Structure 1
Amino acid sequence: MDYVLVAIVALFGSGLTFFSGFGLGTLLMPVFALFFPIDIAIALTAIVHLLNNLFKLTLTGKKANVKTVLRFGGPAIIFAFLGAHILGALTEVAPLFSYKIANTSYQVTAVKICIALLLIFFSLFDLIPKLKRIEINTKYLPVGGALSGFFGGLSGHQGALRTAFLIRAKLNKEAFIATGVVIACFIDVARISVYAKDIFQLGGKLNYRMLITATVMAFIGAYFGNKFLKKITINTIQIVVGILLIIFSFLLGAGIL
C-alpha cells in the first residue's frame, strides 16, 4: 500500500506540473513525510523532482527562454543554497515541546512548524482566486528568483512563486513551461548538494525501491502530461490540494506527522 500511494501521487503530481508549473513536490513531500523525517522527506522529494525535471527537459527544454532563465535562475541558485542550509540548521534544534495523547508521545520541532507555516502559505495559491491570478512586473524577476530559490531550498516549495513571477515574462505556453523546468533544475541541483550529507547518512535505511517507484511514475506522469493533459482544467484539483495541504500542515505543526 505504501508503494501504491507513492506511485499514484508521483504519477498525477508530475502530470499536473504541465498545467500549473508546480505540483509534484507539493504533493509528494507530504507522502514521503509519512515514512521519513521531514528533512529527509524534503531531500528525497528533491531527488525525484530533479530527475523528473531532467526528463521533462528532453520533452520541452529547447523552447526555454534563455534571458528569463538567467535573470530568474541566477538568484534562485544562490538563495536555494541559503534556504537548504537554514533547513539543516533547523533540524538540529531541540524539540520545542512534547505532549502525549493516548500514551503516544508527539514532538513539536522548529523545522516542522516552519514547514507547516510554509505549506499553509503556499496552499493559499490554490484556494484564493486572487492569488491564483497574481501577476508581477518582469523587472522583479531577480527578486522572484531569490524568493523561489530560498523557499525551494527550505521546504521544496518553489513552484508557486516561480509561476507567479514567470507568468508576466511574456512567454508563450511552451516557453513558459520549458523555462520553468530549466529554473527548477537549477534550484534542485543547488539544494540537493546541501541535502546530500543527510541522504548519505541514511545508508542502508534509505528505501531505494520507494524512491525508484516515485521517479518512474513521475516520468510516466510527465510523458502523459505533455501528450494528453494540456487542455484539462486544474481548478478543482488545485482546491483539493490546497485543502489537503492545510490539513497536513496542522498535523505536521502539531508533531503528529
Structure 2
Amino acid sequence: MDFILVGIVALLGSGLTFFSGFGLGTLLLPVFALFFPIDIAIALTAIVHLLNNLFKLTLVGKKADIQTIIRFGLPAILFAFLGAYTLTKLTYLEPVYTYSLFNEMHEITIIKICISVLLIFFSLFDLIPKLKRLEFDIKYLPLGGALSGFFGGLSGHQGALRTAFLIRAKLSKEAFIATGVFIACFIDVSRLAVYAKDLFLLGDKLNYPMLITATLMAFIGAYLGNKFLKKVTIHTIQLVVGILLIIFAILLGIGVL
C-alpha cells in the first residue's frame, strides 16, 4: 500500500507540473513525511525531484533561455545552499512542546512549524486568484532567484516564486517550462549537496525501493504530462490538492504527523 500511494502521487504530481501550479515536490513531500522524519522526507523528495527534472530536460531542455537561466539561476544556486543549511540547523533544535494524544507522544518542533507555514503559504498561491496572477518586473529576476533558491533549499518550495518572477520574461510556453526545469535542477543539486551528509548517515535505513518507485512513476508522469502540454490548468484539482495540503500542514505543525 505504501508503494502504491507514493507511486500514484509521484505519477500525478510529475504529470501535473507541466500545466498546473503545484509541483512534484509539493505533492510528494507530504507522502514521504508519512514514512520518514520531515527533514529526511525533504531530502528524499529532492532526489526524486532532481532525477525527474533531469528526465524533463531530455524532453524540453532545448527550449530553455540561457540568459534567463544565468540571471535567475546563479542567485538561486547560492541561496539554495543557505536554505538547505538553515534546514539542517533547524532539524536539531529541541521540541517546543510535547504532548500525549490517544496514548501516543507527539512533538511540536521548530522545523515542523516552519515547513507547515511554508506549505500553507505556497498552497495559497494556487488557491487565491490574486496570488496566482502575481508577477514581478523582469529587473527583479536576481531577487527572484535568491528567494526561490532559499525556499527551495529550505523546504523544496521553489515553483510558485519562480513562476511569479519568470512570467514577465516574455518566454514562449515551451521556453518558460524548459528554463524553469533548468533552474530547478540547479537548486536541487545545491540543496542535495548539503543534505547528502544526513542521507549517508542513514545508510540502509532508507527505503530505496520506495525511492526508486517514486522516481520511475515520476518519469512516466513527466512523459505523459509533456504529451498534454497544450492543455490548460485543471482548477478543480488545484483546489482539492491545495485544501488537502493545508490540512496536512496543520497536522504537521501541531505535531500529529
Q: TM-score, normalised by structure 2?
A: 0.98
> Structure 2 counterpart of 1:73, which letter?
G
Task: Give the equivalent residue in structure 2 for 1:15.
Answer: 15
Alignment of 1:1-257 (within 5 A): 1-20=1-20, 22-257=22-257
How big is each residue's C-alpha offset from its partner over 1:3-48, in whole Å with a ceiling of 9 and x where there is no partner? 0000000000000111136510000000000000000000000000
Output the CA distance in 1 between the equivalents of 2:222 and 2:146: 26
Structure 1 residue 232 displacement after superposition: 4.0
Q: Which moved more, 1:21-30 or 1:169-178?
A: 21-30
Output the CA distance in 2 between the equivalents of 1:63 and 1:26: 25
Structure 1 residue 234 displacement after superposition: 2.0
Structure 1: 4+ residue segments shifted above 3 A: none
* Structural RMSD (CA): 0.9
Q: Which moved more, 1:78-87 or 1:14-23?
A: 14-23
Structure 1 residue 122 displacement after superposition: 0.3
> Structure 2 counterpart of 1:150, which letter?
F
> Structure 1 counterpart of 2:62, which letter?
K
> Structure 2 counterpart of 1:142, which letter?
P
Structure 1 residue 94 displacement after superposition: 0.7
Unaligned runs of 5+ in 1: none
Kept in 2: contact 1:46–1:188 (CA 8 A): yes
Structure 1 residue 101 displacement after superposition: 1.2
Output the CA distance in 1 between the equivalents of 2:37 and 2:127: 27
Output the CA distance in 2 between the equivalents of 1:149 and 1:102: 40
Kept in 2: contact 1:21–1:177 (CA 8 A): no
Kept in 1: contact 2:126–2:242 (CA 8 A): yes
User: How many percent identity over aligned positions?
Assistant: 77
Structure 1 residue 135 displacement after superposition: 1.2
Output the CA distance in 1 between the equivalents of 2:230 and 2:205: 39
Kept in 1: contact 2:21–2:238 (CA 8 A): no
Secondary structure of 1:98's match? strand
> Structure 1 counterpart of 2:132, which letter?
K
Q: TM-score, normalised by structure 1?
A: 0.98
> Structure 2 counterpart of 1:36, which letter?
F
Unaligned runs of 5+ in 2: none
How big is each residue's C-alpha offset from its partner over 1:89-138, in whole Å with a ceiling of 9 and x where there is no partner? 00010111100112111001000000000111001111101111111110
Relative to structure 1, is the Cα distance of residues 175 and 21 closer, same or farther in structure 2, using a 3 angstrom cutoff? farther
Output the CA distance in 2 between the equivalents of 1:27 and 1:19: 14
Secondary structure of 2:18's match? helix
